[in-house]
Structures are given as C-alpha cells and as structure tokens.
Amino acid sequence: MLSPWPATSSTQLQLPIKQHASKIKEETIKKATRLAKIKEPEAFDSKAEKWKDTITFDEYIVQLVRWLKWQGLDVEKEEALERASFQFTGMAARWLKDYSEKTKSTKRNIHGFIVFLRKKIIPSTAREELWKRYEGCHQAQFG
C-alpha cells in the first residue's frame, strides 16, 4: 500500500502536545473581562417608535443586562441600575427617577425597573398585536 505522505526516517522529531485540563482562575477571567472592549448598548430614549415594539424592547433589555454582567456588576443590586441609568435619556430617565423615588433602596434593581419601564412603554394591547401578527404564519415562512 502506498502512503500519500513522503517517506521519512524513523528518527523523526515528535513534539509533545501539552493539554491543560485545569480550571481557569477566577482572577484571570475577571482581568480578561475588564480588558475586553465591549461596545455599550445604544441609548434608550423612549421617543422612538421602535421601543414600542415588544420584540425590539426585549432584545435591547437582554443586551443591556448581558452588558452589565460583563462589566462585573451584580444585576440584583442597585449598583447595576445606577450604571444602566447612563443609557436612559428623555422620558426613560424621568421614569427611572420616579422608580427610584417610589421604591425602597433595598428593593431597587435593574429587573424591577425593566418591569416598571415596560409598563410605561409597551402598550397594553401588545400581546394581541403579536398574536394577530403571527397567528396565520407557518414555520416555513420564518425559517
């Protein structure tokens, strides 16, 4: 049987391959996270019509929460809400102020504000609109 590889001597140099099966240190992950350049989410102005779309709103919020986590913030604490506050402008910033005034400091977090903001931005008929939009669709239409 002929080999597709060229003939070599039997004293061919073999380099050992080292595999690291150990766990990456927590400090290394934190340092890499701080050094990573992650683009900030766009500003949430609440004036644009796109924010009234439930899918766009939810996708933005997921992106914002992921971004906060990458910043090393605990999204259950008020600190993450304070950092996220720089992303809200216009009426959204005003609603954040209202939320902060109405909620005890121990209960304030980004999730609570998202629910508060969603009630202000998304119309109450949004569920019915989504249902009508996708009711007659087939899987083949959207992939």
Residue-wise pLDDT tens for the chain (143 aa)? Answer: 555 555 555 555 566 666 555 667 777 766 766 666 677 888 888 788 888 888 889 899 999 999 998 888 899 999 999 999 999 999 999 999 999 999 998 889 999 999 999 888 887 777 777 766 667 666 665 55
Do the domain assignments include residue 95? yes
Do the domain assignments include residue 5? no
Based on the structure, what is the number of domains in the chain?
1
DSSP state of 1: -
> Domain range spanning residue 77?
56-129
DSSP state of 104: -
Do the domain assignments include residue 119? yes
Do the domain assignments include residue 36? no
Do the domain assignments include residue 33? no
Dihedral sign (CA 86, 87, 91, 93): negative
What pLDDT does 48 receive? Answer: 82
What pLDDT does 51 receive? Answer: 87
What pLDDT does 13 receive? Answer: 58
Structural contact between residues 72 and 32, judged by C-beta atoms closer than 8 angstroms:
no
